[in-house]
């Protein structure tokens, strides 16, 4: 066995998921369909000296796709500078159509939305290859029951320039409501069409010693419109699966956005990680998926890391890979719970009459002004508004009822709580300020039946504020 220590874990090419899934088999070298050698990334062949280039990524994914029926690579968009946005579908066999993806049993990896945070992308690329070539029984069984979807480079223009934003400088991870960028539109289309049960978002962060310096940090959706069951699964993913897998591999872990006292481990202050719905982690939760943000530390903090940048780079990628092993174990062991939680969250959109939260977070109660205690039946868009936001609504998968050149957007639909966040002028980042329709007529959006108790995370029932 190759010990999963910091310095050596990267050496194990394609170790399979045996260790992940709890089966103790020796690590085996992967074998392609025709015995072809599995491709390696530029990062791997350089031993972490440099990041994989985009031409190398294209060759790598093409080679993986040729070698096995487990992988399909599709173009799902193009950036402003003409680079492809791609989706890799993995399964045994690879799902041919969106409807072949297993609801609740699918994991979407969104890798390196920020172009200057490359470790997630490297972990995603090598993981695609490892899943494609793995021969161990645990991985084969996992892929027979699970669809893994990967956007390996979520911000190709930003990666090419080694900068956070895309070519316009827009932060893609603040664009998951407005969908002004090709990059966020591509991800929204995947969420709509494949409806992944788990959405795992790979990032990196700059530490502040001594308060904020763990190797890998996680954070679940804090947005209060995330259903209780989905929120519970997301915290389980973070605390019961990703964190233990990362610690087992020899890395330290913590919660993103929270500084802690280095002596006691107690929280000192919160510096990031709020409930903003335009962030993918939160948007996923609002849409009924188990979202998780993962962040690895960029900077070298030990003498060994400082002395050898390649070693530091490998630590960043290896800790991401360890987190992914935890995520796959979660998808495997919690598959029934994930399916139940995500299906119930979407179903509740038809019956829930509870409040919608325009602000707050799971660790910061919404103010009265941030609570729509009695959400309207629908929002009315005039022709001008609909012309401006109709495309974004369609990409989100929000149902609309056209009238003339405008439209009504009912709340009774799977994405119920998303609708006010998109269309209410009092929300934090609405697309437009549509007109609330308090009560719908017979046969329209509201059929007048009573609703079930609220599925949102807030405590206050409607009418108490
Ligand atoms: Zn980031």
Distance 156 CA to ligand 1 centre (A): 14
Distance 219 CA to ligand 1 centre (A): 12
The predicted structure's pLDDT at residue 114? 98
Distance 206 CA to ligand 1 centre (A): 10
Length of the chain: 465
The predicted structure's pLDDT at residue 441? 75
Distance 408 CA to ligand 1 centre (A): 36
Distance 204 CA to ligand 1 centre (A): 5
Residue in this structure with the two tokens 């913590």, named with its chain if needed: 254
Distance 71 CA to ligand 1 centre (A): 27
Separation between Cα atoms, residue 326 and residue 312, nearest integer Å: 22
Distance 200 CA to ligand 1 centre (A): 13
Distance 333 CA to ligand 1 centre (A): 28
The predicted structure's pLDDT at residue 439? 87
**Where are the extended beta strands (E) located within 69-226?**
71-78, 84-90, 106-111, 147-151, 198-205, 216-219
Omega before 210 within 30 of 0, i.e. cis:
yes
Residue in this structure with the two tokens 């409930």, named with its chain if needed: 275
Distance 113 CA to ligand 1 centre (A): 6
Distance 314 CA to ligand 1 centre (A): 18
The predicted structure's pLDDT at residue 352? 95
Distance 185 CA to ligand 1 centre (A): 18
Distance 120 CA to ligand 1 centre (A): 10
Q: How do residues 186-222 score in pLDDT, each as one tens digit? A: 999 999 999 999 999 999 999 998 999 999 999 999 9
Distance 114 CA to ligand 1 centre (A): 5
The predicted structure's pLDDT at residue 355? 98
Mean pLDDT per block of 10 residues along the chain (465 residues) reads 34 42 37 71 98 98 95 97 98 91 89 98 98 96 96 98 98 98 98 97 95 97 98 98 98 96 93 96 98 98 96 98 98 96 97 97 97 97 98 98 96 98 97 94 48 38 30
Distance 165 CA to ligand 1 centre (A): 10
Distance 115 CA to ligand 1 centre (A): 8
Distance 203 CA to ligand 1 centre (A): 4
The predicted structure's pLDDT at residue 443? 54
The predicted structure's pLDDT at residue 442? 63
Side-chain half-sphere CA neighbours of 33 within 13 A: 12
Distance 285 CA to ligand 1 centre (A): 18
Distance 207 CA to ligand 1 centre (A): 13
Q: Quick one: tokens of 375?
A: 């959400």
**Which residue ranges form the domains of the chain, and what is each CATH number?**
15-345 (3.40.630.10), 352-459 (no CATH)
Separation between Cα atoms, residue 260 and residue 142, nearest integer Å: 37
Distance 458 CA to ligand 1 centre (A): 28
For 105, residues 6+ apart whose C-beta sits below 8 A from its C-beta are 145, 146, 147, 197, 331, 335, 338, 339
Distance 87 CA to ligand 1 centre (A): 19
Separation between Cα atoms, residue 289 and residue 267, nearest integer Å: 28
Distance 103 CA to ligand 1 centre (A): 27
Distance 172 CA to ligand 1 centre (A): 9
pTM over cut 0.75:
yes
Distance 117 CA to ligand 1 centre (A): 6
Distance 385 CA to ligand 1 centre (A): 32
DSSP 394-453: HHHT---EEETTEEEEES-STTTTHHHHHH-TTSSS-S--PEEESSPPTTSS------BS
DSSP 294-307: EEEE-S--SHHHHH
Distance 359 CA to ligand 1 centre (A): 22
3-class DSSP state for residue 341?
helix
Q: How do residues 416-444 score in pLDDT, each as one tens digit? A: 999 999 999 999 999 999 999 998 876 55
Distance 124 CA to ligand 1 centre (A): 15
């Amino acid at each position: 066995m190759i010990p999963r220590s910091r310095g050596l874990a990267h050496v194990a090419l394609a170790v399979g998921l045996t260790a992940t899934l709890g089966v103790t088999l020796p690590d085996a070298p992967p074998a392609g369909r025709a015995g072809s050698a599995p491709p390696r990334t530029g990062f791997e062949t350089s031993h972490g000296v440099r990041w994989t280039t985009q031409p190398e990524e294209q060759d790598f994914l093409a080679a993986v796709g040729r070698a096995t029926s487990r992988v399909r690579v599709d173009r799902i968009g193009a950036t402003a500078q003409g680079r492809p946005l791609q989706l890799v579908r993995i399964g045994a066999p690879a799902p041919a159509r969106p409807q072949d993806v297993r609801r609740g049993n699918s994991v979407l990896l969104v890798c390196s939305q920020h172009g200057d945070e490359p470790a997630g992308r490297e972990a995603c690329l090598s993981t695609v290859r490892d899943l494609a070539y793995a021969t161990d029984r645990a991985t084969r069984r996992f892929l027979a029951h699970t669809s893994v979807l990967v956007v390996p480079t979520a911000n190709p223009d930003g990666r090419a320039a080694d900068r956070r934003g895309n070519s316009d400088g827009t932060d893609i991870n603040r664009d998951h409501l407005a969908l002004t960028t090709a990059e966020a539109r591509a991800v929204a289309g995947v969420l709509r069409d494949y409806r992944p049960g788990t959405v795992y978002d790979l990032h990196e962060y700059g530490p502040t010693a001594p308060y904020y310096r763990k190797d890998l940090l996680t954070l679940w959706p804090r947005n209060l419109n995330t259903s209780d069951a989905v929120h519970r699964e997301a915290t389980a993913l973070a605390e019961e699966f990703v964190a233990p897998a990362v610690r087992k591999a020899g890395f330290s872990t913590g919660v993103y956005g929270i500084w802690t006292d280095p002596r006691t481990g107690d929280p000192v202050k919160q510096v990031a990680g709020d409930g903003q719905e335009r962030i993918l982690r939160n948007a996923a939760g609002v849409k009924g998926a188990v979202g998780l943000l993962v962040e690895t530390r960029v900077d070298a903090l030990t003498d060994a890391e400082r002395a050898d940048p390649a070693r530091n780079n490998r630590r960043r990628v290896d800790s991401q890979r360890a987190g992914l092993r935890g995520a796959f174990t979660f998808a495997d062991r919690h598959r029934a719970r994930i399916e139940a939680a995500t299906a119930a969250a979407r179903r509740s959109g038809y019956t829930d009459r509870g409040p919608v939260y325009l602000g707050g977070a799971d660790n910061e109660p919404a103010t009265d002004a941030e609570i729509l205690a009695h959400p309207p039946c629908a929002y009315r868009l005039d022709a001008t508004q609909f012309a401006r936001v109709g495309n974004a609504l369609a990409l989100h998968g929000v149902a609309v009822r056209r009238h003339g050149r405008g439209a009504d957007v009912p709340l009774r639909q799977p994405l119920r709580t998303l609708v006010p966040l998109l269309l209410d002028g009092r929300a934090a980042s609405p697309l437009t300020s549509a007109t609330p329709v308090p009560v719908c007529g017979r046969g329209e959006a509201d059929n007048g039946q009573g609703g079930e108790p609220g599925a949102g995370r807030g405590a206050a029932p409607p009418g108490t504020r």
